[in-house]
A = this chain, B = another copy of it.
Amino acid sequence: MKIAVDAMGGDHAPKVVVEGVMKARDQWPDLEFMMFGDREKVAPYLTDETRIEFIQANSVITNEDEPVKAVRQKKDSSMVMAAQAVKAGQAEALFSLGNTGALLATGIFVIGRIKGIERPALMPTLPTVNAGRVVNLLDCGANAESKASYLEQWAIMGSIYARDIRQIASPRVALLNNGTEFDKGDPLHQEVYQRLQNNPALNFIGNIEAGNLLQDQADVIVSDGFTGNAVLKATEGMASLLLNLIKSTLLSGGFSVKLGAAMIKPALGEIKGRFSTSDNGGAVLLGVNAPVIKTHGGSDEDAVISTIVQIREMLAKQTIPQVIDYLKTHDIK
């Protein structure tokens, strides 16, 4: 299993990327890497190149770059070169911490859509109220406009992912909507409800409201890309706002508040860890011909390692070939 890595993306690149890759390599003897980046910047961290093939990339796509333009123009960037290696069959998956929009564009334009998938979707794995249990939400923003057929395709892909990678025999699939009754929503969501209901490959449990997103009521939640993006950001924004507000309130309190805060710190830390960072791997661009996975730009080494483990699982379980096979015999339009 060979993974193409963009070593230059992310806030702490290339350090956390290189060190995370080396640790994952040491842990999993079946993993090999192609690493794309600037040799000079990578050198201080890349102390052991066993099973890591380094390839010089002369430019970097930054978060300030306009995604589609950057992918077209910066052909010598670490991200685009890594994608080209996957396209050429030299590597089987693409991993980056860089510009999300550019990675979506690279996945779609360089690696290419799966035949039968109209639009790929971005799918993170989110924590829930129950420790150790997670939920997949897609699409979280690869698409500003969505059609009913897209959402049905996403439901299939999310369900295959949850079954194989999360080992849930019959993943509960729900539709994000503005009410739970079957006829809720605009015509798009009403049509999607009927499609999911009628698709025998899905264990469709009905509509779910955004207030129950993380209540562990579904394993896979399908959403139009605009709403999924907004709901994800609203959820992350509220978690971050509350946790920061609690922290600053406790720090600015009097002696007894500070003492009390010190006593509950470990208990609060567990909650904060669960909801403010991602131990759940990266967001998958589902619908292209190879695993393309993005981890948050601010990720630390542990998040890099858990994302590599996730990619390894997707390769071992052949998630993408299974999607390709399903669509060979099922025409969703």
Contacts and interface: CB of A to CB of B under 8 A. Distances in A.
Contact of A261 (B214, B242, B260): B260
Interface in A252-309: 253, 256-257, 259-264, 267-268, 270-271, 275
Contacts of A242: 238-239, 242-243, 271, 275
A226 interface: yes
Given A145-B186, A211-B240, A257-B264, 5 more contacts: A141-B178, A144-B185, A214-B237, A231-B231, A249-B271
Q: How many copies does the complex hold?
A: 2
A18 to B, nearest CB: 29
B246 A238 contact: no
B229 A231 contact: no
A230 B245 contact: no
A256 B263 contact: yes
Nearest to A187: B145
Contacts of A263: 256-257, 259-261, 263
Contacts of A235: 234-235, 237-238
Contact of A268 (B233, B246, B256): B246
Which one of A145, A210, A240, A243 has the highest number of Cβ atoms from chain B below 10 Å of its Cβ? A210
Interface string A184-207: 111101000000000000000000
Contacts of A214: 237-238, 241
A237 B215 contact: yes
A176 interface: yes
Contacts of A313: none
Contact of A233 (B145, B209, B241, B246): B209
